[in-house]
Amino acid sequence: MDLKELIIREKLPRHIAIIMDGNGRWATSRGNMRVFGHQNGVESVRQTVEAAGELGVEYLTLYAFSTENWNRPRSEVDALMGLMVNAIQDETENLHKNNVRLSAIGELDDLPENVRKQLQSAIDYTAQNTGLNLVIALSYSGRWEITSAIKKIVEDVKSGNLDAETINSCLLETYLNTYTIPDPELLIRTSGERRISNFMLWQLAYTELYFTPVLWPDFRKKDLYEAIIDFQRRDRRFGRVKEQAKAVTVNN
Ligand code: FPP
C-alpha cells in the first residue's frame, strides 16, 4: 500500500518544521566537497515542499541557515548563499504555480544583498497565494529571536508604549518572528542527530519530535509521509490528562 494512503487527512499537522541535516556527511561519504551535499539537498527541498502542499499541510518551516552557520569556512558560507540565490530564483515560478506563499524568519539584514533582494522579490511575488506557507529560516536561531524580542519589549517599555505589567507569554509571542504562524506540531530532524540546535526554542514547547537517520539529500516524499504517520500515532496531552487533552485538540 502507498504510504500516502495511510495518512489521516483530518489529523494532519498544521505546521511541520524541519532541521535539514547531513548534507556534508552525504557528500564526504561520496568523496565529494560538502557543497555537493547542499546542492543535492535542494532536490529534497523541492520534493518536501511539493509533498506538503499536495497533502494540505498549512505551514512548512525549513531551517536553511543558522546564526551559528556564519562560523563555517568562508568558502562554504559563500557557496550556501550562492545556492540560496539560485534555488530561490529557479523555484519561484514553480512555487507560485503551486500556490505556495513564501516567507522568511531570521536576521535577514545579515544576509548578502543579492540573497536579500532575491528572497524579497520571491516573497512579494507569492504574497497573494493561499496554499502552503513555506517559511525559510535564514540566519536564524531561537536564542537570537528571543533576545531580539526582549530588546524590543524593553524599548517599548522605555518609550512608554508598553506597560511592563502587561508582559506575559502571550505578549512576548507577539514580538517573535513567527507571530502570525502557529507553533509547529511536528519537528523532523534528519541525519540521526537528536538535538534541537537552537531552532524555534520558544515555538517547540509542545512539538512532537521525529528523528530519522536519513541524510537530507536522500530525504524524499515517502520520508515525509513516514514522519506524519508516526506523528498521527502519538498521544498528545499538552501537560494534561488524556481526557482533557482530547477536548483541547477537538476545541482547537
Ligand atoms: C545541514 O547539513 C544543512 C545546511 C546547513 C544547509 C541546508 C541548505 C540547503 C539544503 C540548501 C537549499 C535550501 C533552500 C531552502 C533553498 P550539514 O552541512 O550540517 O551536514 P553535516 O551535519 O553532515 O555536516
Domains in the chain with CATH codes: 3-251 (3.40.1180.10)
pTM: 0.94
Protein residue with least CA distance to atom 8, ligand 1 = 64
Assess whether 218 carries a catalytic annotation.
no
Which amino acid makes up residue 9?
A: R
The three cell numbers locating residue 72:
563555517
Nearest C-alpha neighbor of 188 from the set 54, 47, 62: 62
Residue type, 214: V
Task: Using DSSP bridges, classify how beta strands 186-189 and 133-140 pair: parallel, antiparallel or unpaired.
Answer: unpaired
Write out pLDDT tens, residues 182-235. Answer: 999 999 999 999 999 999 999 999 999 999 999 999 999 999 999 999 999 998
- Choosing from 19, 21, 85, 91 the residue with most ligand 1 atoms within 8 A of its CB, the one to mutate for a pocket test is 21
Average of per-residue pLDDT values in the chain = 95
Which residues does 143 contact at the CB level (< 8 Å), separation at least 6? 67, 198, 201
CA of 230 to the centre of ligand 1 (A): 24
How much is the CA Rg of the chain, to the nearest whole Å?
A: 19
- Residue 213, classified by CB atoms within 10 Å of its CB into exposed (0-12), middle (13-18) or buried (19+), is exposed
